[in-house]
Amino acid sequence: PAHFRFLERPSAAATRGTGRIFIQAGAFAEPENAQRVRARIAALGSVEIVRTAGRGAPLYRVRLGPLRDAVAAALLLGKVIERGYPGARVVEE
């Protein structure tokens, strides 16, 4: 079985932006769905699943990174979209 990790993310009020750039491929209510997406994009780079608080239930965000700059983020975003995730986006924390 694939090895992955879930990261707990503190609330937005408790964090300060670090300027780190990621590509978020998607956010899912079911961890199994996040794991499937992670497996499909793992060849593109370092992928993590971050568990965050959603409305009444946790969300599992699948993201690649951190990336060194906006140019690298734009290039990787194109690759993630080509893999079948048109809703992917650049996020910064």
Q: Rounded to two decimals, what is the model's pTM? A: 0.78
Instruction: Band the pLDDT of 30: cuts 50, 70, 90.
Output: very high
Cα–Cα distance, 54 to 51 (Å, whole number): 9
Per-residue model confidence as pLDDT tens digits over 51-62:
998 788 899 999
88 φ, ψ (degrees, to nearest 5): -60, 150
Cα–Cα distance, 90 to 12 (Å, whole number): 17
Of 1, 56, 48, 55, the residue nearest 26 (C-alpha): 48
Residue 13: pLDDT over 90: no
